[in-house]
Structure 1
Amino acid sequence: MSPIQLISVKTDISKSPLETFVACAHQMLDPATPEAVRRAMEPRLLAQLPTLRALGVFDLFELRDAALRTWLNDELAELVSPGR
């Protein structure tokens, strides 16, 4: 398990979009994370994209994991031009 503890899908703890994004991304990339937990993290991670994009986070930082970067770039492109 990664240093970041598994986040409960039903957590009520209010965290910043960046904290939520980083925690979800860590869990998704951790090979010890069960697939069901990974799938549960996807919508939470994607929900942070509009806010992080508006803050310019993706203009300042690049994700090192190529698969995660490609997936999120596709999702960000869909935010810019929905229905493509």
Structure 2
Amino acid sequence: MSTIFARAPSADIRVTPLEAFVACAHQMLDPATPESARRAMEPRLLALLPALRALGVFELFEVRDPALRTWLEDEMGAPAV
């Protein structure tokens, strides 16, 4: 799996919640990502969940990776992903 990096927000670069989620999810699923980096991404992913739910992302798309899907379901408190 290729590595995708989300750029840090600045005055002229904006990263949408969906873009940030996809970039973080790719990193989380990459076996080459160190455990410390995965743990550092968890709060960022959690912070994105309210915006993604408000956008209806999990009503339109399903997270195919079983481990990531289960983690997100546990965090959201509902099997919506």
In the other structure, the counterpart of 1:58 is 58
In the other structure, the counterpart of 1:36 is 36
- List alignment gaps of at least 5 residues for structure 1: 79-84
In the other structure, the counterpart of 1:2 is 2
Partners of 2:70 and 2:32 lie apart in 1 by 22
Number of positions where the alignment pairs a residue of Structure 1 with one of Structure 2? 75
Give the share of equivalent positions with the same residue, in percent: 71
- List alignment gaps of at least 5 residues for structure 2: none
Q: How does 1:9-24 map to 2 (within 5 A)?
A: 11-13=8-10, 14-24=14-24
Q: Scaled by the length of structure 2, what TM-score is found?
A: 0.81
Q: CA RMSD in A?
A: 1.9
One-letter code aligned to 2:72? L
1:1-54 C-alpha deviation (Å, 9 max, x unpaired):
72314x58xx34431000000000000000000111111111111111000001
Q: Scaled by the length of structure 1, what TM-score is found?
A: 0.78
In the other structure, the counterpart of 1:75 is 75
